[in-house]
Structure 1
């Protein structure tokens, strides 16, 4: 009985399974037939719509900003060199790299023994030259008296000769007396000539003695200068750099011992292309008096200072192009020679131009304008200036219309888009110069403490940031970064 029951159940389950298989086969057949029927039907094409961000062209007055990379250099640098060979006797306290020095401070003392000995020898030679001059002048005076006496003798012999001639003419005197007087007169003239020759020799001796005395005086001045130069002093206040001198060491003549850099007289040297340089010239061809912003990135913190264009290098340089421009740094604290900085120059304002992203304009100056039914139209614009990721264009008749902010290969004339408008997609503005903020004592102390306790900052960066925080006006960008970093760290 049990066997029969189990057999009936198995037959029933088999019948159910076969029925389900048949039902599934019918469903598959109907589905395939319906799909085949749909493929035979003609499909209506559907237009593809892209999404793109648009912005409105709003021409106005824009002051372009020209950016360039430059290097900080010192406008006043003094090389300390040894005026003569010798031994370094003494160095100033703190004679090391980065040490501050004051004007007139004695930095290096060389051994003065040789210079002092030379000075004493020159003084002895000077005294000898003075004695020689006195002797020559006295001899000249004696020779002058001798010449005067010889002239008197000539005058006396002449009168005697003339008297003998007169006596002979009267018939009283003899010819022998006249001859004797004439011979005496000739001898007196010869003696006078000899005395004049002696006087000329004495004059020459005096001149020689005076020249020798003048030479000795010059030697004395040189010896005194050489002795004074054994002390090397600072001509101006500044910071030492490249110190190589060691107390007790030997130095050669004209050997460089160190350099003094004036940290308060810094400037930036940067190179511009010829086209960029021409934009900074006025009608007379001179460099415009334009403002500049100098910024230095240090460990995520930016040190900034205002500057002003000062001059242009006189030559281009071998194998170079463009022009080298110099801009003075008005607030040099925190900067050091050799720093690699970014210079942003505010150019003269331009009227009736629009600032748009560079991706909105192709290489041929074409933009995509939003037309009727949100379809794109191609239009030409005049590109006036390219600066970074933006361009300045002349909109012309397109003023007030919307254009695609970023072109891509899928967009073109006639394509319909889904425009996206936002406040961020409006015309970008050129970033203004960093605002300077005057801090109160409490806030300044808090920022200084935050920098001093930040162990992640390198020591040179920490020193420069603290120097900028000690100024009366601090850039707002620096304050935002410091305070923002502190909040993130908390």
Structure 2
């Protein structure tokens, strides 16, 4: 009985379990069917709005600035070469690297002994030629006097001959006397011819003496030039460079001794592309005299100079491209030939253009403008010029529109945005970084001591930096560069 009771109990429990499983399966099936048959319910979605920076496009007239790099050079550079060979016996105290000289200053003197001897000999030859000339002149005077006397003698003999002829015709004279008188007259005429020949010889001697004197004077002038060539003098005001001569050294003809550079007549040479060169031409196809600004950044201080374009190269160098142009500088204080500088050329003005950041222009030549309901739409534009981080654009309907400053892949046509205009950006933007510093006395003294002890720094730049360090506020960039070189 007990076994039967336990078996029935187990069977009951199994039946109840199966019933519960069937009931649970039915509930799950009904729930799945209800879920599948129910209509989908979508939660309400909100349109995403992007915050963008916009600028109002304004049409204006802009003078573009062409930026390039160039090198400072002098318009007058003279190689000082030895015009004579010999030993350098005298050297100017200013004949050294970087020394300033004035026009006409004696730079060096080469031993003039040989040249002086040649000049003395030439001078003696001139004196001899002058003496020969004076002697020839005196001989010419004597020849003229002798010719005059011979002519007078010939006249007397001729009159005597005529008297004998008259006497013979009157029957007083004899034929022998007539013949004797005729022979005497003929001899007198022959004497005149001889004296005339002597006069011609004397005149020729005078001419030869004059020619000999001219040659002697030419030789003396040449000797004088050779003597003068032993002295080297400065041809214009300037500075000396590449000095190689020393006192007591032996130099040869045409040997380069130094280079004289006019550091007040400076210009900058810069190479630009052909399209850039074409924009600088005037209506006649010549380089326009446009203003330029030259900047040399040294130790946080920018040396600036102004000038004007003057000319371009006659031909493109072998293996070169573009055009080489030159600009003359006005009062380029602190600049030296060889400096590598930044050159900014102010181009002719361009009208009816809009200046925008370069990030606003897409690769397809469009910008995004703000339309009604703060939505974006692309607008085709034409790129006129790039100016650093900005671009100059033209386009129908561009002027007066609000343009997105920075393009993003998330922005496109029809996107709703929240525009941030210049006033809003000014209120939200963080303050600019401090560019001027107030130095403590110890820090200022340390910087000034470093600048004064720097022998490699040019004197003009050193004085300019010291003057800036003495001001109440000093540029942070200059302080940072000086301290980086100090190592602290």
The secondary structure found in structure 1 opposite 2:260 is strand
Report whether the alignment pairs 1:303 with 2:302: yes
For the residues of structure 1 that align with 2:479 and 2:412, how far apart are their CA atoms? 46
For the residues of structure 1 that align with 2:452 and 2:378, how far apart are their CA atoms? 53
Q: How far 1:43 moved relative to its partner? A: 7.2
Q: Is the 8 A contact 1:313 1:326 kept in 2?
A: yes
Q: How far 1:73 moved relative to its partner? A: 0.7
For the residues of structure 2 that align with 1:189 and 1:65, how far apart are their CA atoms? 98
Q: Is the 8 A contact 1:316 1:322 kept in 2?
A: no
For the residues of structure 1 that align with 2:467 and 2:212, how far apart are their CA atoms? 62
- Could you state the TM-score of these two structures normalised by the residue count of structure 1? 0.77
Q: Residues 264 and 272 (structure 1 numbering): CA distance in 2 closer, same or farther, change over 3 Å?
A: same
Q: Which residue of 1 aligns with 2:255?
A: 255
For the residues of structure 1 that align with 2:273 and 2:451, how far apart are their CA atoms? 42
Q: Is the 8 A contact 1:97 1:240 kept in 2?
A: yes
The secondary structure found in structure 2 opposite 1:454 is helix
Q: How far 1:276 moved relative to its partner? A: 3.0
Q: Is the 8 A contact 2:54 2:403 kept in 1?
A: yes
Matches within 5 A, 1:83-232: 83-232=83-232
Report whether the alignment pairs 1:312 with 2:311: yes
Report whether the alignment pairs 1:291 with 2:327: no
Q: Which residue of 1 aligns with 2:7?
A: none
For the residues of structure 2 that align with 1:327 and 1:457, how far apart are their CA atoms? 35
For the residues of structure 2 that align with 1:366 and 1:90, how far apart are their CA atoms? 75
Query: CA offsets per residue over residues 28-70 of structure 1, 9 Å max, x none?
Result: x9xxx9xx98xx9697898776665433212223232111211
Q: How far 1:283 moved relative to its partner? A: 4.7
The structure with more radius of gyration: 2
| Bigger mean CA deviation after superposition, 105-114 or 462-471 | 462-471
Q: Is the 8 A contact 2:301 2:478 kept in 1?
A: no
Q: How far 1:107 moved relative to its partner? A: 1.5
| Bigger mean CA deviation after superposition, 479-488 or 103-112 | 479-488
For the residues of structure 2 that align with 1:367 and 1:119, how far apart are their CA atoms? 85
For the residues of structure 1 that align with 2:467 and 2:150, how far apart are their CA atoms? 90
Residue in structure 2 matching 1:454, options 444, 450, 453: 450
Q: Which residue of 1 aligns with 2:346?
A: 346
For the residues of structure 2 that align with 1:344 and 1:146, how far apart are their CA atoms? 88
Q: Residues 282 and 67 (structure 1 numbering): CA distance in 2 closer, same or farther, change over 3 Å?
A: same
Q: How far 1:268 moved relative to its partner? A: 0.9
Q: Is the 8 A contact 2:305 2:333 kept in 1?
A: no
The secondary structure found in structure 2 opposite 1:72 is strand
For the residues of structure 2 that align with 1:175 and 1:350, how far apart are their CA atoms? 120
Q: How far 1:332 moved relative to its partner? A: 1.7
Q: Is the 8 A contact 2:452 2:462 kept in 1?
A: no
Q: Which residue of 2 aligns with 1:465?
A: 461
Unaligned 5+ segments in structure 1 are 1-28, 427-442
Q: Residues 212 and 468 (structure 1 numbering): CA distance in 2 closer, same or farther, change over 3 Å?
A: farther
Q: Which residue of 2 aligns with 1:17?
A: none
Q: Is the 8 A contact 1:292 1:346 kept in 2?
A: yes
Unaligned 5+ segments in structure 2 are 1-27, 427-438
Q: How far 1:321 moved relative to its partner? A: 5.0
| Bigger mean CA deviation after superposition, 415-424 or 181-190 | 415-424
- Could you state the TM-score of these two structures normalised by the residue count of structure 2? 0.77
Q: How far 1:478 moved relative to its partner? A: 8.8
The secondary structure found in structure 2 opposite 1:139 is helix
For the residues of structure 1 that align with 2:226 and 2:331, how far apart are their CA atoms? 40
| Bigger mean CA deviation after superposition, 396-405 or 281-290 | 281-290
Matches within 5 A, 1:274-423: 274-283=274-283, 287-299=287-299, 301-313=300-312, 315-319=314-318, 320=320, 322-362=322-362, 365-408=365-408, 411-417=411-417, 419-422=419-422
For the residues of structure 1 that align with 2:333 and 2:160, how far apart are their CA atoms? 99
Q: How far 1:241 moved relative to its partner? A: 0.4
| Bigger mean CA deviation after superposition, 254-263 or 215-224 | 215-224
Query: CA offsets per residue over residues 314-357 of structure 1, 9 Å max, x none?
Result: 61334455443322222322211011111112234433322112
Q: How far 1:451 moved relative to its partner? A: 5.8
For the residues of structure 2 that align with 1:447 and 1:453, how far apart are their CA atoms? 10
For the residues of structure 1 that align with 2:445 and 2:330, how far apart are their CA atoms? 27
Q: Residues 457 and 216 (structure 1 numbering): CA distance in 2 closer, same or farther, change over 3 Å?
A: same
Q: How far 1:252 moved relative to its partner? A: 1.1
For the residues of structure 2 that align with 1:395 and 1:101, how far apart are their CA atoms? 60
The secondary structure found in structure 2 opposite 1:397 is coil
Q: CA RMSD in A?
A: 3.9
